[in-house]
Amino acid sequence: MLKPTPVTPDEVKRHNLARVLRHLHEDGELSRSDLVFLTGLNRSTIGSLVSDLAGADLVEEVSGVGGSRGRPSLVVRSKSKNVFVLAFDLRVDRIVCAAIGLGGEVLATLHRPRLDGPYPVENAIAAILESTDELFTKLPLGATWAGVGIAIPGVVETELGFVRKAPNLGWIDVPFGQDIERAFRSHMGVCPSVVLGNDANLGAIAEYVRGAATTSSSVVYLSGDVGVGGGVVLGGQVLTGGSGYAGELGHLVVNPNGQPCNCGSQGCWETEVGRDAILSAAGLRTGPDSFPELLELGKSDPEKMKQTLNQVGEWVGVGLVNLMNSIDPNYIVLGGHLADIYPYISEVVNRRVDQSRPDRKTRAEILLPSLSLDSPLVGAAEVAFGRLLSHPLQEMEQAFALV
Amino acid sequence: MLKPTPVTPDEVKRHNLARVLRHLHEDGELSRSDLVFLTGLNRSTIGSLVSDLAGADLVEEVSGVGGSRGRPSLVVRSKSKNVFVLAFDLRVDRIVCAAIGLGGEVLATLHRPRLDGPYPVENAIAAILESTDELFTKLPLGATWAGVGIAIPGVVETELGFVRKAPNLGWIDVPFGQDIERAFRSHMGVCPSVVLGNDANLGAIAEYVRGAATTSSSVVYLSGDVGVGGGVVLGGQVLTGGSGYAGELGHLVVNPNGQPCNCGSQGCWETEVGRDAILSAAGLRTGPDSFPELLELGKSDPEKMKQTLNQVGEWVGVGLVNLMNSIDPNYIVLGGHLADIYPYISEVVNRRVDQSRPDRKTRAEILLPSLSLDSPLVGAAEVAFGRLLSHPLQEMEQAFALV
């Protein structure tokens, strides 16, 4: 919609800086001509924007390969070692941490195991602070810390940094965003902006921005950890829903006469295809330690594994049919343990889907994640870059450099 | 997103005329002060816009009641008898037709029964032309015909006016928009813009714009005719999905071991709660004639009806739970035959929903349609007004007056 209020030159410039920086962040190295083409701005405007971004130490121009007729040509790229965010994924059995540079380069990672079960908030804060100290030792001096993103396995009010409910952590109504900002300030005197997100929503963002599903803006990501979570991206935006509970795909009822779920319902998708349901189907004891054992069984006898997981595959298929008939995404990305078992259930899943969607053009493509790190962690980094990407110069002025 | 390209004064004016006219169309009579408040524009701009719209015979200023301290005050209102669209809803057993004035006033309606079953395209065209002739006799001379909207029980590519699949009409790949424009031109020499839409999508638009769900922009509408269709409005926009099949809610699998569906799957929502499934549950013969009989049974013995429809209510509930856990709308409007039977199944439906969503704040409100006409018909009128509402003066210059 056109805005009737006047737009100031400063706003236009801020907006154009943001567009150029986002292209470099998401698409990688680009020539000035590429930027002219992608933004529709003229060559001299692009020149001036690139020079402003370079002046703020966000991008640099270097000799690229190719160019017309073999001449070396300049390309613009983000200075990924110079500006970074910290990303954390609070998983059921571990915390995954990373420092990720502008442009998406992974600068450092570490895993901290934790026990399955409730996780006191103060322990989570302590683990994040310790991990931050350790990550910082692996980063170049002078690098600029632009933000923090945290993936939470639960329902999150992103704007407020508020965790409404995270059953696998044992959290209800925790103002974790405020808590962690206060902790950073007291631990190291400063804190850039902190953004919390639901893990599956962040997974969907990651797969949409730089993963398996970049060619469409209509993507569902399924996280599989202990339960099943879902993130829905429509038109490039996360679907939050009327009450913040959109994408609670683990509680789609796929088997109305199935197992009781701790949500109060029965036969929810996660009671039928969650980690422990799969382990039970395979006759293994439930719990995080058995899953590698299951995957070993699959490797040694894939045919037996297919039979074992046949019914699990049916339930995965029923849920996917329901997503295609309600949201109709272009891509559905199976993450976490669903990615691990997909090779053994793909036949039965696709038979279910094809039965309901005989016209193959109208069914979503089922994909596995294509990121080297776990998708929610990458998504946490993406949202952590949000402020910098929309207000590049202002944020760089206020950001903190490692000393 | 701010546009870096310059906005011309003409575009700004066109945009502001459109905003003012849309407010008057959707909200009814408004004072100039109301318009200043709603648009954020200043008083003199509003005065000039209202005078332009009045000059085009779209609105008028009349004495309103109220006003501060009891003084009579002027209100602006759309000239509903002066500008109209035609709306058609191609239902399974009848065609419903209406002339609807700017502002939503129903100027004339008529019903044409048709036989359940395939419906040749040429018969549909003939019925629409005959209905148009009849409706025109009921409209004032000089009234301006601004558009045509048609609700189709099937999958429609709205931009192309193309019906991909309408099983209950027996249509596959019919360029119905072009067909009907050609027919209007040959029948009466002119044709304003024709917009086709899926019936449930149009129902969702109607309930969102002027029905039961106007206080939220996140609405699911369920149509119940022979089958079950769905329309999803998110952020004020219809969700079309990656392949145009979003909102195919009749094919949500609610009972994986249920009846085979003609879509190829089994236990689809419409096989369990479609019209004939309900009639079978009540021991009545299937077909359109039996439904009034069922409703009579309900009136005479409501308790027995509740027992009879208990299982139907369970399946309605399972589908609603799945919508809440995926799309999480604020409102779900039950249309068509689902509205008729809701009084008898509401207890079991709400028990199912509450079981899955114990926190009542996070569940969608279940509503019945609140429009006097059927919702898809009203939605067809809304989309038919689309061009006029976005380009008021240009469209009025090109529109056709009844002579």
In a domain, A295, yes or no: yes
Q: Where a domain ends, among A54, A78, A102?
A: A78
Q: Which residue of A has its CA nearest to B365?
A: A242
**Residue A207, domain member (yes or no):** no
Cα–Cα distance measured from residue A120 to residue A90, given in angstroms and rounded to the nearest whole number: 12
Report the residue of B233, B253, B318, B348 to disrupt the A interface, i.e. the one with the largest count of A CBs within 10 Å: B253
In our burial notation (b when 16+ CB lie closer than 10 A, e otherwise), range A154-168 reads: bbbebeebbbbbbeb
Using one digit for the tens of pLDDT, what is the confidence trace for A368-401?
Answer: 999 878 899 999 999 999 999 999 999 998 888 8
Both structure tokens of A255: 């088997």
- Give residue A402's pLDDT: 83
**Maximum separation of any 2 CA atoms in chain B, in Å:** 68
What sign results for the dihedral spanned by CA atoms A211, A214, A215, A218?
A: positive
Does residue A23 lie in a domain region? yes
Q: Which residues pair with B331 in a beta bridge?
A: B219, B365
Residue B11 distance to chain A (closest CA, Å): 9
Q: Is residue B129 part of a domain?
A: yes
DSSP state of A148: E
Same domain as B230, residue B281: yes
Instruction: Tell which residue, B204, B227, B194, has the closest CA to residue B330.
Output: B204
Helix (H), strand (E), coil (C) string for chain B: CCCCCCCCHHHHHHHHHHHHHHHHHHHCCECHHHHHHHHCCCHHHHHHHHHHHHHCCCEEEEEECCCHHHCCEEEEEECCCCEEEEEEEECCCEEEEEEEECCCCEEEEEEEECCCCCCCHHHHHHHHHHHHHHHHHCCCCCCEEEEEEEEECCEEEHHHCEEEEECCCCEEEECHHHHHHHHHHHHHCCCCCEEEEEHHHHHHHHHHHHCCCCCCCEEEEEEECCCEEEEEEECCEECCCCCCCCCCHHHCECCCCCCECCCCCECEHHHHHCHHHHHHHCCCCCCCCHHHHHHHHHHHCHHHHHHHCHHHHHHHHHHHHHHHHHCCCCEEEECHHHHHHHHHHHHHHHHHHHHHCCCHHHCCEEECCCCCCCHHHHHHHHHHCHHHHHCHHHHHHHCEECC
Query: Which among A239, A264, A327 has CB closest to B355?
Result: A264
Measured in whole angstroms, the distance separating CA A42 from the mean position of its chain's CA atoms is 34
CATH number at residue B102: 3.30.420.40
Are B326 and A327 in contact (CB < 8 Å)?
yes
Last residue of a domain, one of B34, B57, B78: B78
Strands annotated E in A19-105: 59-64, 73-78, 83-90, 94-101
**In the prediction, which pLDDT does B262 show?**
82
Residue B226 sits in the same domain as residue B347: yes
Q: Which domain holds residue A327?
A: 216-370
Residue B191 CA to residue B400 CA, distance in Å, equals 8
Same domain, B185 and B40: no
Best probe of the B interface among A243, A249, A365, by most B CBs < 10 A, is A243
Instruction: Give how far A18 is from chain B: nearest CA, Å.
Output: 11
Instruction: Confirm if A108 and A95 have CB atoms less than 8 A apart.
Output: no
User: Coil, strand or helix: which one is A295?
Assistant: helix
Residues A322, B322: C-beta atoms closer than 8 Å? yes
Residues A62 and A136 in one domain: no
Dist CA A99 CA A373 (whole Å)? 12
Q: What is the CA radius of gyration of chain A?
A: 23
Residues B148-168: pLDDT tens digits? 999 999 889 888 899 998 988
User: Which of B246, B255, B265 lies nearest to residue A326, judging by beta carbons?
Assistant: B246
* B192 within some domain: yes
Domains held by chain B: number: 3
Four-CA torsion A78, A330, A319, B264, nearest 10 degrees: -170
Can you state the angle between helices B43-55 and B9-27, rounded to 10 degrees?
A: 80
Burial class for B135, CB neighbours closer than 10 Å (0-12, 13-18, 19+): buried
Q: How far apart are alpha carbons A245 and B359 in whole angstroms?
A: 11
Instruction: Output DSSP code: residue A4.
Output: S
Task: Please give the Cα distance from B207 to B333 (Å, whole number).
Answer: 8
- Position of tokens 């236009």? A12
* Pick from B230, B263, B318: CB nearest A256: B318
Chain A hits for B325, Cβ within 8 Å: 245, 248-249, 251-252
Same-domain check for residues A230 and A185: no
Chain B partners of A1 at a C-beta cutoff of 8 Å?
Answer: 15
Q: Which regions of chain A are under pLDDT 70?
A: 1-7, 65-72, 358-361
CA A132 to CA A86: how far, in whole Å? 8
Q: Looking at residue A3, what is its pLDDT?
A: 41
Which residues of chain B, if any, have pLDDT below 50? 1-4, 67
B57 and B140 in a single domain? The answer is no
CATH number of the domain encompassing residue A73: 1.10.10.10
Residues B233, B250, single domain; the answer is yes
Angle, vertex CA A41, rays to CA A39 and CA A44, nearest 5: 135
Is A210 contained in some domain?
no
B342 vs A82: CA distance, rounded Å: 61
Q: At what angle do helices B43-55 and B32-39 cross, to 10 degrees?
A: 110
In angstroms, the separation between the Cα of residue A212 and the nearest Cα of chain B is: 16
Give the integer Cα–Cα distance in Å for A277 and A272.
6
Residue B1, domain member (yes or no): no
A26, amino acid identity: E
Q: Do A4 and B16 touch (CB under 8 A)?
A: yes
SS3 A325: helix
Phi/psi for B173 (5° steps) reads 50, 60
Taking CA–CA distances from A253, the nearest residue in chain B reads B322
What is residue A291's three-state secondary structure?
helix
Contact list in B for residue A321 (CB cut-off 8 A) is: 251-253, 265
Q: Residue B88 has which token pair?
A: 């058609």
Residues A169 and A191 in one domain: yes
> B153 and B17 in one domain?
no
Q: Which of B267, B273, B264 is nearest to B254 (CA)?
A: B267
Buried b (16+ CB within 10 A) or exposed e, B58-88: bbeeeeeeeeeeeeeeebbbbbbebbbbbbb
d(CA A387, CA A143): 17
Residue A313 and residue A307: Cα distance in Å, rounded?
10
Sheet holding B218-224, edge to edge: B237-238, B228-234, B218-224, B331-334, B365-367
Which letter does DSSP use for residue A245 in this model?
Answer: -
A241/B256 CB distance under 8 A: no
B351, B251: one domain:
yes
Same domain, B128 and B229: no
Question: Do A243 and A333 fall into the same domain?
Answer: yes
Helix (H) or strand (E) holding A232: strand A228-234
- Considering only CB atoms, B245 lies closest to which of A2, A255, A328, namely A328
Global model pTM greater than 0.90: no
The rounded distance, in Å, linking the Cα atoms of B198 and B54 is 34
Residue B207 lies in a domain: no
pLDDT attached to residue A275: 92
